[in-house]
Structure 1
Amino acid sequence: MSTPRDLMIVALDVAPSRPLGRGDLSLALAGAEAYDLLRTGTLRLRGDRLAPLTPPGPEDGLLAEAAAALVREEPYEPLPDWLWRRGRGLSSAYLAALEAEGQVTWERSRWLPFRGGRTVLSDTEARRRAAYRWAADEPVLLALAAAVGIREELTPADPAVTDDTALTVLAAVHDAVMELEAVRQRRALEAAAFANVWRGA
């Protein structure tokens, strides 16, 4: 089971509740990687820092890349810094991996957020597994999806994440997505102000 792969497949398979940004999804994918690496004992949290351990590496290629990218010198890397560093372009990397594996094909006639064509998911075991986790309301997958707008915000009726480590990762993802949105809004205001100045010149 790979949470980031399942999240990527769900992002391609489910109509989002709001426009889905690559940056938001990349941050959530980096959080999903951190969650899987913590769950498998590849690293542990020391406060908010990611402390690598030395178990066998993950079988999934992108998770193995994530494990190899961990900072191995103390005081180790804070989780928020990891999300921004590892998350850079990560949605494109997962999309390319799915395409290389034959999980995704492209229809070039319509627009989607990721490329000039429309993604078509193949009927594979990976897609069925992701759909099963999604239909089963798996709490971490639901929370990551809600953070980036694949689904509405969670309600008290939704299954709750109870593991403290997972909650730490999810909180960091949520904060990073909010920070990214604040940057977008600031840039939009700056662009609007510049346009007003230009028109008034």
Structure 2
Amino acid sequence: MHAYTQINIWGFAGGAPWQNSGGGGNYQCMVYDAEYNCHNSVSTTGFVAGGEYDTFSVGVFSSSAHKQNTPCSICHATTRSSTIMVPGKRSCPDNEWTFEYEGYLMSDHFSRDSRTTFECVDAEPEYVDGESADSQGALFLFNRALCNKGVPCPPYDSNKAITCVVCTKALRLKTPAALGAKKVSRTSPSDATVANR
């Protein structure tokens, strides 16, 4: 990790189960301390399963990595402005982040013939006036956790719609020296270890 990078969220990789042809098509970094908004059960949805390495023993990763759950983090480059979307949360990582909106993690249905990206749709959605006909076009459905597929339950609940939050942080105009950061050479593992403590 670069010396000017902060980790804001530790989590586990999640996505639509490989057996499903539809649902969300991009991986998400799921939090371990999920928060819910609406406590009603939802039924017609996509699904989120935990991610795992499927790498076998081919001499690239260690053989012990095969079938292990995949960790992830959501990071902020301190020398750049950032926008993050955090699945499973209703609040920002800390008060240095600006809350933009909270919503629900949405995608198409798990049984479709192709996948869409997961999107964080505002909990108070707006509509296009005069377009309320059921045209069966591009659909947005809630997503639920698959508790027997690498997702910790609790805090996740297999019957409830997974939440999300969008947060921003402005660029702070400080020099690296003012940040107290030490630039790390990629060729010096020992220095990188010290810088990331």
Q: Same fold (TM over 0.5)?
A: no
Greater share of residues in strand:
2
TM range (shorter): under 0.3
Structure-1-length-normalised TM-score: 0.25
Greater share of residues in helix:
1
**Structure ID, larger Rg:** 2
